[in-house]
Structure 1
C-alpha cells in the first residue's frame, strides 16, 4: 500500500513538473533557438527561392554555403541588374547577418532569440558606410518557416528615422532535372 501511494505521488509530482512518466525527459514547450541552432535552420534554406511581397513585387533569392559551410550567402535579385547580398555567420556565440545593400551601406544585424522558436529575428547591431542613422538602411528582419515548405521573411528599413516593412512569401524553385 505504501509503495503504491509512493508511486502515485511520484507520478503526480512528475506530471506537475512536466516530466513524462515513460521516461525522464521533460515535456516542455519549444523554447528559443540558440544562435548555433538558428544558423543550422538557416542552412536548410540552401537552394533557389521565388519571393512575392504583399505589394506583389517578385524576386529571387539564392542561398549558398561557403567557407567550409561556416558562411551562408544570400544573393537577392530584384530585377535583371540590381542585386544585394546578405552573409550569415557565427561570431563567437552570436549569429550575425551582414547585409550588403545596393545603396552602399552594410548593416550588421544580430539574431535575437524569441520566446519560441517559430521565427528567427535579427535586429540592428551596427553598420559600416552608414554616415547617418537617418540614411535608408535595413534595420531588422525575421524569417518564419512554414510546415508546407515555404517561408515568410519580413524586412524593416529605416529612412529618415521612420520604419517601413514588408513581408514576402518564398517558395522553393525546383532544381533542374538532370538530362542525359
Structure 2
C-alpha cells in the first residue's frame, strides 16, 4: 500500500513537472518583440478620425520624453477625453489607460504579429480598481496600414466582459 501511495505521488509530481515545462515552452514561442511592436506604434503619430460603437470621436497620437512614450489623446463628443500611454519597460511593451471610469488599468503586450499588424494587450494590474470594479481589461489593435487601423477594448466588471468598444481609425493628417 505504501508503494502505491509513493507511486501515485511520484506520478502526480512528474505530470505537474511535464505540464509546467510544456507551458513554459509555449510562452517562449509567443514572446513579443517589444521594440518592433513599439516602432510600429510610433508610426501612428498624428491626428485620426475614429468611428466607434459609441459614435464618432477624434484621436491624436504624439511622442514625448525623447520618443520613449507614445501618448494617445482620445476625445469623445462632448469634450470627454481619455489618455493612453504606451512605452517600453525593459523587454516588455506596456500601456497605461487613463479612463473615464476614474481608474488606470495597465496592460502588457502578449502577442504581436508583424505580418498582420495584430497587437494584443492583456490586463496586468492598475490603480484605483477595486475588486470586481469595472475597468478596461484588454485591447487588440489591428495595425493594417499607416493610414488605417482598428481597435477593440474590452471592459470587464465582476470578472465578465460587460462591453467591447470596437473602433476604426482613419488618419486625417
TM-score of the pair, normalised by structure 1 = 0.73
- Contact persistence 1:32–1:115 (CA under 8 A): no
- RMSD, matched Cα: 1.9
Aligned to 1:50: 49
Considering fraction of residues, name the structure with more helix: 2
- Contact persistence 2:32–2:110 (CA under 8 A): no
Question: How many corresponding residue pairs?
Answer: 142
Q: Deviations over 1:4-49 (max 9, x none)?
A: xxxxxxxxxxxxxxxxxxxxxxxxxxx9750110000000000011
1:62 aligns with 2:54: no
Aligned to 1:7: none
- Contact persistence 1:50–1:173 (CA under 8 A): yes
Aligned to 2:24: none
1:5-44 correspondence runs (5 A) = 34-44=33-43
Compared with structure 1, are the counterparts of its residues 101 and 140 closer, same or farther at alpha carbon in structure 2 (3 Å cutoff)? same
Q: In structure 1, list runs of 5 or more residues that go unmatched.
A: 1-30, 175-180
CA distance in 1, matches of 2:71, 2:147: 20
Compared with structure 1, are the counterparts of its residues 34 and 117 closer, same or farther at alpha carbon in structure 2 (3 Å cutoff)? farther
TM-score of the pair, normalised by structure 2 = 0.76
- Contact persistence 2:85–2:95 (CA under 8 A): yes
Q: Deviations over 1:120-164 (max 9, x none)?
A: 1101001111122x2110000011122483100111110232212
Compared with structure 1, are the counterparts of its residues 147 and 128 closer, same or farther at alpha carbon in structure 2 (3 Å cutoff)? closer
Aligned to 1:104: 102
User: What is the CA distance between 1:103 and its match in structure 2?
Assistant: 1.6
**What SS does the aligned partner of 1:36 have?**
helix
Which structure has the greater CA radius of gyration?
Answer: 1
